[in-house]
């Protein structure tokens, strides 16, 4: 596959080039070795496309996971606790996870545990490969990457998406680069408040 389109949000790519160029090259190398045509294994059941061979999100995700794992990229969780009370939730925002639990226990409040997980993390870089529905990408960009960044686990997030041209060769409802870039830009230049790199992929 190849990077057909790219957007650097809050100097995300510039940070990678200056501070983690080797890891950035690993991301690009993984993309380069993925054979998109080998993942054209999903036989469509959709009206008007029945029987067409489409790119399989499952197969592509599997290939990306295998390649990143071979280079030492690992999944990582950001754990946290949730409160029913707004004031309690605001008070816990900048506490680490053990402090949050102790705070809730002191108040005698309910202990509600939750977490976010990113599949590929290395040297302060979080990579999400997203060939799923629109809502999954929005959650990645505006929740997961931001949580890992504000939690000081990562310094930059990378979101890998198909372009519109590639998405047209996939099942309906798959998110695509141009649409998600529009969603970021319409929030203003400073939102989300985390350095990001959006990479739009197409078959090589």
Per-residue pLDDT of 118-135, as tens digits, reads 999 999 999 999 998 888
Query: What letter would DSSP give residue 174?
Result: B
Report residue 59 as tokens: 């197969």
CA distances from 25 to 4, 13, 21, 71, 145 (A): 16, 11, 6, 11, 20
CA 147 to centroid of chain Cα atoms: 12
Tens digit of pLDDT for each residue in 14-38? 999 999 999 999 999 999 999 999 9
The CATH architecture that domain 2-76+119-202 belongs to is: 3-Layer(aba) Sandwich (3.40)
Burial grade of 78 (CB within 10 A; 0-12, 13-18, 19 or more):
buried
H helix intervals, 54-197: 57-70, 86-92, 97-107, 134-139, 145-150, 164-167, 177-185
93 band by pLDDT with thresholds 50, 70 and 90: confident
144 band by pLDDT with thresholds 50, 70 and 90: very high
CA-based torsion, 106, 107, 111, 114: positive or negative: negative
Calculate the average pLDDT of the chain.
94
pLDDT at residue 55, rounded to an integer: 95
Q: Residue ranges of the domains in the chain?
A: 2-76+119-202
């Amino acid at each position: 596959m190849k990077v057909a389109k790219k957007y650097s949000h809050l100097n995300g790519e510039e940070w990678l080039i200056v501070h983690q160029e080797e890891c950035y090259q690993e991301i690009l190398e993984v993309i380069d070795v993925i054979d998109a045509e080998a993942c054209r294994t999903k036989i469509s059941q959709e009206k008007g496309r029945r029987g067409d061979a489409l790119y399989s999100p499952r197969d592509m995700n599997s290939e990306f996971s295998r390649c990143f794992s071979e280079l030492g990229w690992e999944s990582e969780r950001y754990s946290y606790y949730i409160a029913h009370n707004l004031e309690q939730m605001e008070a816990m925002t900048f506490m680490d996870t053990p402090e949050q639990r102790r705070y809730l226990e002191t108040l005698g409040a309910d202990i509600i545990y939750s977490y976010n997980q990113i599949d590929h993390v290395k040297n302060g870089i979080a990579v999400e490969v997203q060939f799923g529905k629109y809502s999954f990408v929005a959650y990645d960009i505006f929740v997961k990457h931001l949580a890992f960044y504000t939690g000081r686990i990562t310094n930059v997030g990378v979101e890998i998406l198909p372009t519109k041209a590639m998405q047209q060769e996939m099942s309906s409802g798959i998110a695509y680069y141009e649409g998600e870039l529009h969603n970021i830009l319409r929030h203003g230049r400073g939102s989300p408040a985390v350095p990001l790199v959006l990479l739009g992929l197409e078959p090589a």
